[in-house]
Amino acid sequence: EDQVTQSPEALRLQEGESSSLNCSYTVSGLRGLFWYRQDPGKGPEFLFTLYSAGEEKEKERLKATLTKKESFLHITAPKPEDSATYLCAVPGGATNKLIFGTGTLLAVQP
Amino acid sequence: DAGVTQSPTHLIKTRGQHVTLRCSPISGHKSVSWYQQVLGQGPQFIFQYYEKEERGRGNFPDRFSARQFPNYSSELNVNALLLGDSALYLCASSFMTGGDGYTFGSGTRLTVV
């Protein structure tokens, strides 16, 4: 069964303190891995898509990487405005429905 | 360009009532998917529609139904509401049914009392 697991569930950082979020996945035939950012009460906002092991993508203070079993979202020198829930998802089944992890709630304190 | 628009943004319903949620996809997108997100959890897939046909259904009871109109907008209907239906309902649009890119709306917050 296709599955996505994210860790940690919650992470509190000081401004400028770099860290990484983990997304482990089990899927039959990876057709991409998506990272989204979600602010409270809002819909997920697309960040990155990764398709193959070794691929990396960057956007401002965020860098996403992919291996055959997991993906990491690296946050370098975070700012308070980076505080949000970060969701990881993979397309699964015949319809490419997104299978989400439970997310990592990131809080960056000034 | 307008993104994915959902209405209403919030609503409160009583147990046993019926609710209809609406979604307009990005212009040019032909596929609409619905997801339910309970507080503290990731979104769960409910339905996918493409070219007005149901292409996929998640593990939800028959009280949940949906349809897509000729202009590609969509409705999600939930009958006989239960307290456990309280959640953020998200609509996602994509050009096709592939996983190449899903854009989400801001969601409808449904509270069942």
pLDDT tens digit sequence for A76-91: 999 999 999 999 999 9
For chain B, what's the residue count?
Answer: 113
According to the model, what pLDDT value does residue A109 have? 97
A8 touches chain B (CB under 8 A): no
Q: What percent of chain A has pLDDT over 90?
A: 87
Q: Which of B56, B103, B106 sits opposite A95 (nearest CB)?
A: B56
Contacts A44 to B, Cβ<8 Å: 43, 90, 104
Asked if the Cβ–Cβ distance from A87 to B42 is below 8 Å, we say: yes
Q: Taking 70 as the threshold, does the pLDDT of residue B14 lie above it?
A: yes
Average pLDDT (B52-71) is 96
Cβ pair B20, B43 in contact under 8 A: no
CA-based nearest residue in chain A for residue B10: A41
According to the model, what pLDDT value does residue A96 have? 84
* Closest to A34 (Cα-Cα) out of A69, A66, A61: A66
According to the model, what pLDDT value does residue B98 have? 59
Integer Cα distance of B21 and B39 in angstroms: 19
| pLDDT band at residue B2 using 50, 70 and 90 as cut-offs | confident
B61 touches chain A (CB under 8 A): no
Q: Taking 90 as the threshold, does the pLDDT of residue A21 lie above it?
A: yes
Residue A42, Cβ density class (10 Å: 0-12 exposed, 13-18 middle, ≥19 buried): middle
Cβ pair B11, B88 in contact under 8 A: no
Asked if the Cβ–Cβ distance from A98 to B43 is below 8 Å, we say: yes
Asked if the Cβ–Cβ distance from A34 to B45 is below 8 Å, we say: no
Q: Which of A32, A46, A103 sits opposite B42 (nearest CB)?
A: A103
Average pLDDT (B57-63) is 96
According to the model, what pLDDT value does residue A62 have? 98
Q: Which amino acid is at A75?
A: I
Tokens 């096709």 locate to B96
Q: Taking 90 as the threshold, does the pLDDT of residue A1 lie above it?
A: no
